Amino acid sequence: MGQRANASATPRWIVRCVSLLCLALLQQVALGHGSVSLEDDLCLIEVGFFRAHFKVYIPDRLQHERFCEDLPVAGETVFVMEYVHSALDSMPIDFRIIRNLTGLGRFTRVQDIEKIDNLDELTVFHHAAAAQADVFTVLHDFQSTGEFVGVVTVRHPETQQVYKAVFPFKVGFTGFGYWPLFVLAAIALHLHYLYLNGRFARWTRALLASALLAAPSGIMSDAKGADAQGADAQAAAGELWISRSGEFQVRYAGDLQPPAINRIHGGVLHLETRTGEAVADARLTIAGGMPQHDHGLPTQPRVTGYLGDGNYRVEGLRYHMHGAWELVITIDAQGKRDTVVIPLQL
């Protein structure tokens, strides 16, 4: 007997795409904020190997609410750096805010700022290098919204080595942050899970079955003359169903009309080519279930014999509840494989 295709055999490119998407999101979260990062609910800024806790306040508008970078409104703003490295106590710190015209948004880096020739023309605030013990604090009154870049420069007093950090930020509408990206990642992972467990295949069959039921062009078969076993008469009682690829057409007539709940029964399946020729020696796999309830048949029906003239005897069917069912018939014949979905309403 033919076997159903394994829905969990996922193409590798899907796994790779989902993995790359997740990695890209994680990289954006890690790198999207310049030199400012979130650690243990505290914002940190790294100027070379020097570190400080970084806070931004808009006291006149938002009282004690604290921000890392992006600011929801314009107004008088206080930038605070609490030193993690005590060496910063004695180091002159230069603090500058410029309009961000790089076009890189929150992905602006130090090297991007160093390429700007007219830095003074873009500067909206500049605090000349000066040492402040324990905490570095500056205040700037933003008169308008927009995109900006903060530039922090420290010169080591002994080695004269210069260290810089930049933090791009917005004033005004700060967007939705990374939540849309996380939502997209969650959706992608969930779709991947649905593909792995075969739900996509079941939903596709259910949609196809609904479309076939609603189609006005459903073809009802003409009755054939009954043979001694009555197989042709039973097969002719069913509607004609076309396989997904159009290679075959199937009629099915059950022994119980209408089908009864919780009774083992069978029927006759009639198989033809697309041109109406009876198909013999086919391997048929019978499966199905209730797509809306996401479960299969309670039994394992199978073909028990060939009756001739394209008719096959099916045994072992049982439906245990009322509702929308489907029979999924996988056909292996004449060197081809195709599938027919027959919807049933009990």
Residues 102-135 pLDDT 10s: 999 989 999 999 999 989 999 999 999 999 998 9
Weakest-pLDDT range from 116-125, 167-176, 242-251, 284-293: 167-176
Q: Is the pLDDT of residue 40 over 90?
A: no
Residues 168 and 70: their CA atoms lie apart, in Å, by: 8
Q: What is the pLDDT of residue 39?
A: 60
Q: What is the pLDDT of residue 218?
A: 41
* Region of residue 91 (phi > 0: left; psi between -120 and 50: alpha; otherwise: beta): beta
List, in order of start, the domains of the chain with CATH numbers: 12-180 (2.60.40.2550), 199-345 (2.60.40.10)
Q: What percent of the chain has pLDDT over 90?
A: 46
Please list the helix, strand and coil fractions of the chain in percent, rounded to the nearest 5, in that order. Answer: 25, 40, 35
Higher-confidence residue of 121 and 8: namely 121
Residues 222 and 243: their CA atoms lie apart, in Å, by: 19
* Region of residue 115 (phi > 0: left; psi between -120 and 50: alpha; otherwise: beta): alpha
Residues 253 and 262: their CA atoms lie apart, in Å, by: 18
Residues 51 and 83: their CA atoms lie apart, in Å, by: 7
DSSP string, 111-138: HHHHT-S-HHHHEEEEEEEE--SSEEEE
Give the amino acid at 187: I
- Average pLDDT (202-211) is 63
In sequence order, what are the residues at sequence separation of 6 or more whose Cβ sits closer than 8 angstroms to the Cβ of residue 97?
123, 124, 125, 126, 140, 148, 149, 150, 151
> Is the separation of the CB atoms in 146 and 99 below 8 Å?
yes
How confident is the model over 289-344, as pLDDT tens digits? 888 887 888 888 999 999 999 999 999 888 888 888 888 999 999 999 999 999 88
Q: What is the pLDDT of residue 17?
A: 57
Residues 335 and 54: their CA atoms lie apart, in Å, by: 69
- Average pLDDT (200-215) is 61
> Is the separation of the CB atoms in 253 and 317 below 8 Å?
no
Q: Which helix (DSSP H) or strand (DSSP E) does residue 22 occupy?
A: helix 12-31
Q: Is the pLDDT of residue 170 over 60?
A: yes
Higher-confidence residue of 81 and 198: namely 81
- Average pLDDT (70-79) is 94
Q: What is the pLDDT of residue 22?
A: 53
Mean pLDDT of the chain: 80
Q: Which of 102, 341, 336 shows the shortest CA–CA distance to 239?
A: 341
What band does 161 get if pLDDT is binned at 50, 70 and 90?
very high
- Could you tell me how many residues make up the chain? 346
- Average pLDDT (165-192) is 80
Q: What is the pLDDT of residue 58?
A: 95
The answer to whether the peptide bond before residue 258 is cis (omega within 30 degrees of 0) is yes
- Average pLDDT (225-247) is 59
